[in-house]
A and B are shown apart, each in its own frame.
Chain A
Amino acid sequence: GNSVTQMEGPVTLSEEAFLTINCTYTATGYPSLFWYVQYPGEGLQLLLKATKADDKGSNKGFEATYRKETTSFHLEKGSVQVSDSAVYFCALYYSSASKIIFGSGTRLSIRP
C-alpha cells in the first residue's frame, strides 16, 4: 500500500545550522508529495509541494526535490531559525485514493 516514512525526532539544532529531514515513500504510480508544518497549538500548513519527478518545491528557505529513483522527498534548509521550531510532516496524495497520507511527523527544536 501507499505509505510515508520520515526520520524520527526530536531533532535539536542550533540557530543557523543546516537542516535535513529525511522522507521516503512507497506508492504505485506517481503521487504528489508535500511537506506540512505544524506550529504549537495550530493546525497544519502547507510548506511546499512537488507534483512530478524532479520537481523542486521551495518556500521560506526550505527546499525538497521529488526523487522518483530513490522514492524520496527530503526537506532541507541552509540556515535554520528559532522560529522554525515546529513539527514537520511529509505527505503524499493519490487522487485515485482521495486521501492524503502523512508520515509520523518530526519535531524540530532550534536553540538560540
Chain B
Amino acid sequence: DTAVSQTPKYLVTQMGNDKSIKCEQNLGHDTMYWYKQDSKKFLKIMFSYNNKELIINETVPNRFSPKSPDKAHLNLHINSLELGDSAVYFCASSQEGRNTEAFFGQGTRLTVV
C-alpha cells in the first residue's frame, strides 16, 4: 500500500501548455503539501493545506493552482508552463502536532521543452 502516491512520475511538455499533477494519501492525515525540488536538490515549500483549507502559499506564481477536493487529495495545476518550471515536484502529508513527520510521494519530474 502506497502511503502518498502522485501521478504521473514523469511529465514532458512544451512551453505554454497546461498540466496537472495528482496526489493522494491514504494515511488519514489532515495536512498536505507541495514542494518543488530544483536541480541542486533544494526543497522549497509551495503550498500547505490543512483540512482542505489553504494555509501557506509561498509566493508561488498564480499560474500554479492547487486544488484539494477532500482531505486525501491535493492536486497541482500549472498553467502556461515555462522553462523555469522544470523541476521535481513532491507531494507530502502529515498530521498536525509536535510529533508530526511528513510522508513524501515519489515525486513528479516535470520537464518543459
- Is residue A60 within 8 Å, beta carbon to beta carbon, of the partner chain? no
Q: Are B96 and A44 touching (Cβ within 8 A)? A: no
- Look across to chain B and name the residue whose beta carbon is closest to the beta carbon of A51: B98
Rounded to whole Å, the gap between the CB of B99 and the closest CB of chain A is 6
Q: Of A38, A98, A102, A105, which contacts B96 at CB under 8 A?
A: A98
- Is residue A46 within 8 Å, beta carbon to beta carbon, of the partner chain? yes
Q: Of A49, A89, A99, which contacts B56 at CB under 8 A?
A: A99
Q: Given A95-B97, A105-B42, is A100 in contact with B102 using a C-beta cutoff of 8 Å?
A: yes
Q: Provide the residues of chain A in CB contact with B42, threshold 8 Å.
A: 104-105
Q: Provide the residues of chain B in CB contact with A87, threshold 8 Å.
A: 41
Q: Of A36, A42, A51, A98, which contacts B48 at CB under 8 A?
A: A98
Which secondary structure dominates where chain A touches chain B?
strand
Q: Provide the residues of chain A in CB contact with B92, threshold 8 Å.
A: 44, 100
Segment 55-113 of B: residues with Cβ below 8 Å from A? 55-56, 90, 92, 94, 96-107
Q: Are B96 and A95 touching (Cβ within 8 A)? A: yes
Q: Are A100 and B98 touching (Cβ within 8 A)? A: no
Q: Given A44-B90, A105-B41, is A99 in contact with B101 using a C-beta cutoff of 8 Å?
A: no
Q: Are B41 and A51 touching (Cβ within 8 A)? A: no
Q: Are A43 and B107 touching (Cβ within 8 A)? A: yes
Q: Given A32-B98, A43-B90, A87-B41, is A100 in contact with B104 using a C-beta cutoff of 8 Å?
A: no
- Look across to chain A and name the residue whose beta carbon is closest to the beta carbon of B31: A98
- Is residue B45 within 8 Å, beta carbon to beta carbon, of the partner chain? yes
Interface residues of A (CB under 8 A from B): 32, 34, 36, 38, 42-46, 49, 51, 87, 89, 93, 95, 97-102, 104-105, 107
Interface residues of B (CB under 8 A from A): 4, 31, 33, 35, 40-43, 45, 48, 50, 55-56, 90, 92, 94, 96-107
If A44-B92, A102-B35 are given as contacts, then 19 extra A-B residue pairs at C-beta distance below 8 Å, sorted by A number, are A32-B98, A36-B104, A42-B107, A43-B105, A45-B104, A46-B102, A46-B103, A49-B101, A87-B41, A89-B43, A93-B94, A93-B102, A95-B98, A97-B56, A98-B96, A99-B33, A99-B55, A102-B43, A104-B41
